[in-house]
Amino acid sequence: MELHDLTVRELRQRLAAKEVSSAEVTEHVLRRIEQLDPHVGAYLTVTADQALAAAKAADEARARGEAVHPLAGVPGGLKDNIVTEGVRTTAGSRVLENWTPPYDATVVRRLKDAGVPVLGKTNMDEFAMGSSTETSAFKKTRNPWDAGRAPGGSSGGSAAAVAAGMGYWALGSDTGGSIRQPAAFCGVVGMKPTYGLVSRFGLIAMASSLDQIGPFTRDVADAAELLNVIAGHDPKDSTSAPGRAPDFTAALKAEAKGLRIGLPKEYFTEGISAEVQAAVRQAAAELERAGATVEEVSLPHAEYALGAYYMIVSAESSSNLGRYDGVRYGRREAGADVPAMMTATRALLGSEVKRRIVLGTFVRGKERLPEYYMRAARVRTLLRRDFEQAFEKVDVLLTPVTPTTAFPLGRRVRSQMEAYAADICTVAVNLAGLPALSMPCGVGADGLPIGLQFIGPAFGDAQVLQAAYTYEQLAWPEGAGRAWRAGKEVDVDGH
């Protein structure tokens, strides 16, 4: 087994036993990035010097016999909308093309304090607006399973990096499925935590009431390990949940008996491919055979989630992106006067970002606010109540992540309505602020991964991890993230 094939847990065990050094591991992964990333396009910026320095510091601390964090020396990547001190942070946009932040996001500071080397910043849809990582202003990311397919979005670079062995973990952000959908397409594990569990301080905002940072890993146990590092109250974030976060690794018990699983009937309808539905139902059947109980439940207002989501996300995006005017920070284009300068600067934004700004500005208009935004907010409340009622009967919900396997590059760019409809299985979770995890549950007829989504009640992140871990041990005893080996490790221009 190659070094880059190891899971986070396997690697940290080898580091603790001094079978391999963090510097050796980091150098190996950096060489792999140099070899593969010209074809995959997962990274926008590689921070080799900083990563090696952190790796060597972890090695020296171990050599001195100091107590170090379990993940010290385990390298990974960050989505490029997570602010990193002294490192170019672009959010995939020309507007921030050369912006170097003077501070770290809270999640970055916690990773650095744990001695975790950061390999670089991963590619993403511009300002997290997209579902294929094709709206990035800099390049497209390709799916490591098939070079002609999208890795998903907006965190496609993070998912592709983990799937291709160019990092043992990565962080992404999820506003309407931007962690879970790429995880499904790339055959890895991706978790969107409960809103407020992980600090958003230093996350470049898209829609502030929906955005949440979470991990990509190769298996469920690794997701719990990363969540242990980044979760917890942060006084710098006014939406951060109070109190200490639990030890999520303590929840990792493969026990199906007593687990109550709900299958929301609204997620198994026309529009979701037959093979995706069958794979999810097969996963439920495996858990049931192992002792879980499975029943059909209903989320009556789920059909309105997509429309409500696009009203809310566009309105909040329009408000948040008003700050990119060329005055305060970021790129400034020349103009004859201030309005001309602002117009020229905002012309740098891509078509998808402009589309959502226009829609959001329309929705926020005084005359239209009650008709669109306020109505969407009421739907959001109804959805939250639907979930609460469902969780009175079951512990977790089991659903598809995406209607299909990974789609061809270019397809969603040509059809915006089809692109938006691809979020149908994920957006309700963000509207309700719930935790959800995507993991592989099989391979489609096209040889591409199919994703399975576990949804839990608010702050039931440990429940989600436990249920997912139980399924992982039944279906992928070597780890869910090893499922990607069932396909093609990297199939990009013959590499």
Q: Catalytic site residues?
A: 79, 154, 178
In 17-155, alpha helices (H)? 22-40, 48-63, 106-113
Helix (H) or strand (E) holding 170, with range, is: strand 170-173
Closest by alpha carbon to 29, among 46, 53, 12? 46
Give the residue among 109, 195, 199, 121 at the shortest CA–CA distance from 158. Answer: 121
Place of tokens 């198994």: 268
**Secondary structure (DSSP) of 259-303:** -EEEEEGGGSSTTS-HHHHHHHHHHHHHHHHTT-EEEEE--TTGG
CA distances from 325 to 137, 333, 364, 449 (A): 18, 9, 19, 41
Distance, CA of 315 to CA of 361 (rounded, Å): 6
Q: In what order do the strands lie in the sheet with 449-455?
A: 43-46, 118-122, 76-79, 170-173, 213-217, 189-192, 436-443, 449-455, 396-400, 260-264, 293-297
Structure tokens at 159: 């998912």
β-sheet bridge partners, residue 294: 261
Q: Which amino acid is at 147?
A: A
For the record, the structure tokens of 106 come out as: 């809270």
Q: How distant, in Å, are the alpha carbons of 399, 417, 425 from that of 209?
A: 23, 23, 19
Tokens read off for 261: 């699983």
Backbone φ and ψ of 133, nearest 5°: 60, 25
What does the alpha-carbon distance between residue 71 and residue 68 come to, in Å, rounded to a whole number?
A: 8
User: From residue 230, how far is each of 16, 320, 445 by CA, in Å?
Assistant: 21, 24, 37
CA separation, residue 399 to residues 8, 199, 243, 265, 292 (Å) = 27, 27, 30, 9, 16
Strand partners, 45: 121
φ, ψ for residue 12, nearest 5 deg: -65, -30
Residue 156 near residue 124, CB atoms below 8 Å: yes
